[in-house]
Amino acid sequence: MALAAAVPGGALLLASPLQAALRLLELLPSTAFWRAVGNSSARIFGGFLMACALGTLLAALAAGRPWLQDLLAPPVAAVKAAPVASFIILALVWLDAESLSRFISALMVFPPVYLNVLAGLRETDPKLLELARVYRIPLGRRIWGIYAPQALPYFRSASSLALGLCWKAGTAAEVIGLPPGTIGERLYTAKIYLQTPDLFAWTAVILALAAVFERLFLAAVDGLMGKAGP
């Protein structure tokens, strides 16, 4: 990157790390920067949380119901395999630009969360479930004592993977949908005006946000894993 930037005229096509860093320092104090970060984070992370809730709920419902697993398998496989751009364009027909990144982020997160939690629940020890039945252990305690310790490690690895995915797909959706005051809009503007330092600065912001959210979320899951059990 630094070498390419050193070629005459190269800085236009590829900014140097120093230029990107300086641009980032310029952006940091501005309100517009933090508004874009806040808007994108709320939508993308909101979509992530929605998908986690829905994926976990459907996995819990499907765990003991093979017919529901069969019913969900084709749409889950389609979401996993189809290009994210296809979904973004299709979703633009139905949704406004503000909801797009939330929806696309949720769509990318749902399959790994659903499939991993389902795999975890399938591994639940049937002998402990028999114990719970004989001792008439209520559902809440069964969830906390048997299902949660079993499913949480699977949920953790799925959410670690999904957090990266949701930021990639979410910002791609913003670049296409152009909701005002978002990171995606800033990336698009940078591309239009060939502002490569802006492009790299915003990319660094996305990477940092993805890393911070992943750290915080996984710490929360680890805390829950430590507490799971009666």
Partner 1 sequence: MEIYVEGLCKSYGGRPVLTGLTAVFRPGITCIAAPSGTGKTTLLRLLLGLERPDAGTIRGADCRWGAVFQEDRLLENLPAAGNLRFALGEVPGEAGKLLARLGLELGDARPVREWSGGMKRRLALARALLAPGEALALDEPFTGLDGENRKRCLELIRERGEGKPVLLATHDLAGLEGAPVVRLVGR
Question: Closest CB to partner 1 among 58 and 151?
Answer: 151
CB of 217 to partner 1, least distance (A): 23
Tell me whether residue 80 or residue 133 sits nearer to partner 1 (CB atom).
133
User: What's the CA gap between 212 and 215, in Å, rounded?
Assistant: 5
Burial of 20 (0-12, 13-18, 19+ CB in 10 A): buried
- Which amino acid type is present at position 143? I
Could you say which residues in the range 104-123 bind partner 1, by CB under 8 A? none
Of 92-100, 138-146, 166-174, 204-212, the window that binds partner 1 (rule: CB under 8 A) is 138-146
The residue within the footprint of partner 1, chosen from 130, 193, 215, 219 (CB under 8 A), is: 130
- The runs of H, that is alpha helices, within the chain are 2-6, 10-13, 17-27, 31-63, 66-81, 84-94, 97-122, 126-134, 139-142, 148-177, 183-192, 196-227
Which CB atom, from 92 or from 128, has the smaller least distance to partner 1? 128
- Give the three-class secondary structure for 168: helix
| Cβ-based nearer residue to partner 1, 22 or 228 | 228
Residue 46 near partner 1 by CB under 8 A? no
Question: Site residues (CB under 8 A) for partner 1?
Answer: 127-128, 130-131, 133-138, 141, 145-146, 149, 229-230
